[in-house]
């Protein structure tokens, strides 16, 4: 019930910090986690990814407040309630983010978080496996805990998507996590030897084998702060409220929803909001819970006239066969997340780096595992990467067991509508290329009759879904920035011996899926906590389209 470092949350950042803070054997580390075991095929089999995200035993089960610009729908807002956190229920897509994302962080006050500073941490955490599909190993790590590989690219639709992008006149890239993000190319996945390579498998389970690292299964109520410094954590287990003491620091890594909730319950947050709930104010930080961001996406679905999609396995017998093959050999369709090609594009001339992401999938299916009634099809998940809309996480009540109130205020900025309409029309353009000609049937969704701006807007309102990338609610920034919650070393401003490190600290949402930058934040925060000094900055120069001011198409080849 006592350790040098007490980490709240065993997710992407928390697991990385447990590993790094216990690595030299000098410090005791205790991880507090409410969720249960990550063992079992629903989590460990990559092909089963739609199951854990929709199972109450693995997910906190949060939903948003009614979203006023999306027909007042309440959207699912899953977060992992399991060892490994959301890295145990996510889609296993590995995206670092664009270099310019991190340079923007630094420019906005996150000193030392520019691309040249974070790239060495990405390299330290990775064990990248060259699959023969291209990529420059000098940009990648080779001996980190996190295995990163690519899918087999065996379904012809997966390669047709990349070829269609090239035919439409766009860049291709053989490694979007390397020098050049922009373009169509193969997708990286956190899968190793047929298993989901979550932060728990990469970091936490190895750390827990050390004598100085332990995990306590409990429900965190609040951080205990005495005379302006964090001294421990109030927890509940077995119906009893207990105290866990921290000799050195408390580190909150509980997600973009639960990290601000825990801070507010501890007296750190907007003073008026805390007072409304009868919570004594310890640090008036107006930014706690604010600046909430996410990626929204649409599924653009096309019928396939050839029966080569994954739909042919969408029956109990085939699923049983795939499951059995995976269980005994860790191979076959169950060993991939099926996201094997990707694209990052710019939406307009004058935009310096990509602001649209595609995930391509050789089946027409929803994230909740419901297949399109049409049968064989394929789809592209598409959405803008840098929405200007901002939401907030607030307290539902002062009761620690109540869920936080989550309001993204999706599509509240007019630019969101322009960007989303462009995404739909761009996807249609790509699907119309010759590469898809042997497979292309009719458009399942939105449907050929949905063409006008108004019709597209109606479709967006009814069908836009979260990509499950919440972040930003405990923003990192300069100490004199009133909206910042933590300083560039992840220390909560106004409270000693307390840090936050997870996706909640991102000042602005990075380009792509958030698992990789969340782990990177845990890796880098560990060096700040230990006072080690940072890894030497990188001098790698990322590729920027030479004609970005005038075109979105492929650069002229001299």
**In this predicted model, what pLDDT tens digit does every residue of 421-477 receive, in sequence order?**
999 999 999 999 999 999 999 999 999 999 999 999 999 999 999 999 999 999 999
Query: Distance (Å, rounded) from C-alpha 264 to C-alpha 393?
Result: 10
**In this predicted model, what pLDDT tens digit does every residue of 19-68 receive, in sequence order?**
999 999 999 999 999 999 999 999 999 999 888 988 999 999 999 999 99
| φ, ψ (nearest 5 deg) of residue 394 | -130, 170
| C-beta atoms surrounding 546 within 10 Å | 11
All residues at 6 or more sequence positions from 383 whose CB lies less than 8 Å from its CB, including other chains: 295, 296, 297, 298, 356, 357, 420, 423, 464, 467
Range name among 129-138, 159-168, 372-381 with the lowest pLDDT average: 129-138
Query: Distance (Å, rounded) from C-alpha 409 to C-alpha 390?
Result: 6
Q: Which residues are marked as active site?
A: 469
Instruction: Judge whether 56 and 63 are in contact, CB under 8 Å.
Output: no
Q: Which helix (H) or strand (E) holds 325?
A: helix 316-329
Q: For helices 115-125 and 99-107, what crossing angle results, to 10°?
A: 130
Q: Which helix (H) or strand (E) holds 359?
A: strand 356-361
Domains assigned to the chain: 152-186+296-384+412-463 (3.30.410.40)
What percent of the chain is predicted at pLDDT more than 70? 99
Query: Distance (Å, rounded) from C-alpha 523 to C-alpha 16?
Result: 6
| φ, ψ (nearest 5 deg) of residue 431 | -65, -20
Does residue 497 carry a pLDDT above 70? yes
Does residue 366 carry a pLDDT above 90? no
Residue 556 pLDDT? 86
- What is 258-299 written as a DSSP string? HHHHHHHHTTEE-HHHHHHTTPPPSEE-TTTT-SBB--EEEE
b/e per residue 69-105 (b: at least 16 CB within 10 A): bbeebebbbbbbbbbbbbbbbbbbbbbbbbbbbbbbb
- What is 126-183 written as a DSSP string? EEE---SS---GGGS-SSSSEEEEE----SHHHHHHHHHHHHTT--B-S-TTTT--SE
The tally of CA atoms less than 13 A away on the side-chain side of residue 57 is 9
Does residue 339 carry a pLDDT above 80? yes
Res. 369 pLDDT band, cuts 50 70 90:
low
Query: Distance (Å, rounded) from C-alpha 275 to C-alpha 344?
Result: 44
Conformational region of residue 438, where left means phi above 0, alpha means psi within -120 to 50, and beta covers everything else:
alpha
Closest to 543 measured CA to CA, from 554, 535, 534, 533: 554
Residue 480 pLDDT? 97
Res. 373 pLDDT band, cuts 50 70 90:
low
- What is 76-94 written as a DSSP string? B---B-BTTGGGGTS--B-
Q: Would you say the pTM of this structure is higher than 0.95?
A: yes
Closest to 250 measured CA to CA, from 74, 29, 459, 482: 29
Closest to 498 measured CA to CA, from 177, 165, 227, 191: 227
Residue 371 pLDDT? 66
- Tokens found for residue 111: 């000193």
């Amino acid at each position: 019930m006592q350790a040098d470092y007490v980490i709240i949350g065993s997710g992407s950042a928390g697991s990385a910090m447990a590993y790094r803070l216990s690595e030299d054997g000098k410090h005791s580390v205790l991880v507090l986690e409410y969720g249960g075991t990550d063992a079992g095929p629903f989590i460990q089999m990559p092909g089963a990814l739609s199951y854990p995200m929709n199972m109450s035993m693995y997910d906190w089960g949060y939903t948003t407040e009614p979203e006023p610009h999306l027909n007042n729908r309440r959207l699912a807002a899953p977060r992992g309630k399991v060892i490994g956190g959301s890295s145990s229920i996510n889609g296993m897509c590995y995206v670092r983010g664009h270099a310019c994302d991190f340079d923007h962080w630094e420019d906005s006050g996150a000193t030392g978080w520019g691309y040249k500073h974070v790239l060495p941490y990405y390299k330290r955490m990775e064990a990248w496996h060259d699959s023969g599909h291209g990529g420059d190993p000098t940009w990648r790590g080779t001996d980190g805990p996190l295995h990163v590989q690519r899918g087999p690219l065996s379904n012809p639709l997966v390669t047709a998507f990349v070829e269609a992008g090239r035919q439409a006149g766009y860049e291709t890239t053989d490694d979007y996590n390397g020098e050049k993000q922009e373009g169509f190319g193969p997708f990286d996945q956190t899968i190793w030897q047929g298993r989901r390579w979550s932060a728990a498998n990469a970091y936490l389970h190895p750390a827990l084998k050390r004598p100085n690292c332990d995990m306590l299964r409990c429900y965190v109520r609040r951080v205990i702060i005495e005379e302006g410094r964090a001294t421990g954590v109030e927890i509940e287990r077995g119906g009893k409220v207990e105290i866990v003491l921290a000799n050195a620091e408390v580190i909150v890594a509980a997600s973009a929803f639960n990290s601000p909730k825990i801070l507010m319950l501890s007296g750190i947050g907007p003073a008026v909001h805390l007072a409304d709930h009868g919570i004594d104010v310890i640090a008036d930080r107006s930014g706690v819970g604010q600046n909430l961001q996410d990626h929204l996406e649409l599924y653009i679905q096309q019928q396939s006239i050839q029966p080569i999609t994954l739909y042919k396995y969408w029956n109990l017998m085939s699923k049983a066969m795939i499951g059995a093959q995976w269980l005994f050999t860790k191979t076959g369709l169950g060993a991939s997340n099926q996201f094997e090609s990707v694209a990052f594009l710019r939406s307009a001339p004058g935009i310096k780096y990509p602001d649209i992401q595609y995930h391509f999938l050789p089946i027409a299916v929803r994230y909740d595992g419901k297949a399109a009634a049409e049968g064989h099809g394929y789809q592209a998940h598409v959405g803008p990467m840098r929405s200007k809309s901002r939401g907030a996480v607030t307290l539902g009540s002062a009761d620690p067991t109540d869920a936080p109130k989550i309001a993204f205020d999706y599509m509240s900025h007019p630019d969101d509508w322009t960007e989303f309409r462009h995404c739909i029309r761009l996807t249609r353009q790509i699907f119309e290329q010759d590469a898809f000609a042997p497979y292309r049937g009719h458009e399942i969704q939105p449907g050929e009759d949905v063409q006008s701006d108004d019709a597209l807007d109606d479709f967006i309102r009814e069908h836009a879904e979260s990509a499950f990338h919440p972040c930003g609610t405990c923003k990192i920034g300069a100490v004199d920035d009133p909206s910042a919650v933590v300083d560039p070393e992840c220390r909560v401003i106004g409270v000693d011996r307390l840090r936050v490190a997870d996706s909640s600290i991102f000042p602005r949402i990075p380009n792509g899926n958030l698992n990789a930058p969340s782990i990177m934040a845990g890796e880098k925060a560990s060096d700040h906590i230990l006072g080690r000094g940072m890894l030497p900055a990188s001098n790698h120069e990322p590729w920027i389209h030479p004609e970005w001011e005038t075109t979105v198409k492929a650069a002229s080849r001299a």
